C-alpha cells in the first residue's frame, strides 16, 4: 500500500467514525451534553469516570473570571471563540495539520465554578487531546 493510501485509510478511520454534533448541540437543557460513547470527549459533568475532568474554579467576581477565561482561550493556538452569551462560552479548536475541529464549552455556575466539556467534532479517538487541552486551559486560567 502506498503512503498516500495509508494516510487516506487513517483519515477515514479517525475522520468521521462516531461523528459528534457541534456548537449549540454541546448544551442540552442548560447543561453540558453528555459525552458520546467514543473516547474523544471529556466533561466535568461526565457520568463515566474515564471521561470526567474537574471543573475550573475561581474566587471573586464571575465577570473577572469570564474575562480571564476569554483571554486564555484567545491566546491559544487554533482557538476561536464562537459564542459568549449568558452563562456559556463556546470555542472551537482547529488542529494545525489536518484541520480537525474540537468544541469546548464552558458553563459558569456561581459561586466559583466553571463546568467544562471538550469533544472532538469528528473521529473516534482523540489520543488524549481533549483532556490535555482542558488541563492546559486550567493551568493558564489559574495563573
pLDDT tens, position by position, 67-104: 999 999 999 999 999 999 999 999 999 988 888 999 99
Looking up cell 471538550, which residue turns up?
A: 118
Lowest mean pLDDT of 10-19, 73-82, 110-119, name the range: 10-19
Q: What is the pTM of this model?
A: 0.80
Instruction: Tell me the residue range of the domain where 26 lies.
Output: 3-142
Euclidean distance between CA atoms 77 and 142, whole angstroms: 18
Is it the case that residue 23 has pLDDT exceeding 70? no
1-5, 11-15, 27-31, 47-51 — which is least confidently predicted? 11-15
Contacts of range 23-30, beta carbons closer than 8 Å, 24 or more positions apart? 23/82, 23/83, 23/90, 23/103, 24/83, 24/90, 26/90, 26/103, 26/105, 26/117, 26/119, 27/88, 27/105, 27/107, 30/107
Are 105 and 88 in contact by the 8 Å Cβ rule? The answer is yes
CATH of the domain at 74: 3.30.310.80
Number of domains in the chain: 1
pLDDT in tens, 31-46: 899 999 999 999 999 9
Amino acid at each position: 500500500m502506498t503512503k498516500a493510501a495509508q494516510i487516506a485509510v487513517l483519515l477515514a478511520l479517525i475522520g468521521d467514525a462516531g461523528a459528534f454534533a457541534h456548537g449549540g448541540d454541546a448544551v442540552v437543557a442548560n447543561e453540558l451534553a453528555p459525552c458520546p460513547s467514543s473516547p474523544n470527549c471529556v466533561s466535568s459533568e461526565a457520568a463515566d469516570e474515564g471521561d470526567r475532568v474537574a471543573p475550573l474554579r475561581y474566587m471573586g467576581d464571575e465577570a473577572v473570571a469570564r474575562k480571564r477565561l476569554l483571554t486564555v482561550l484567545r491566546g491559544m493556538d487554533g482557538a476561536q471563540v464562537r459564542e459568549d452569551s449568558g452563562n456559556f462560552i463556546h470555542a472551537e479548536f482547529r488542529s494545525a495539520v489536518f484541520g480537525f475541529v474540537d468544541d469546548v464549552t464552558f458553563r459558569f455556575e456561581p459561586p466559583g465554578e466553571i463546568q467544562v466539556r471538550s469533544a472532538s467534532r469528528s473521529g473516534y479517538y482523540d489520543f488524549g487531546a481533549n483532556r490535555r487541552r482542558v488541563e492546559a486551559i486550567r493551568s493558564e486560567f489559574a495563573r
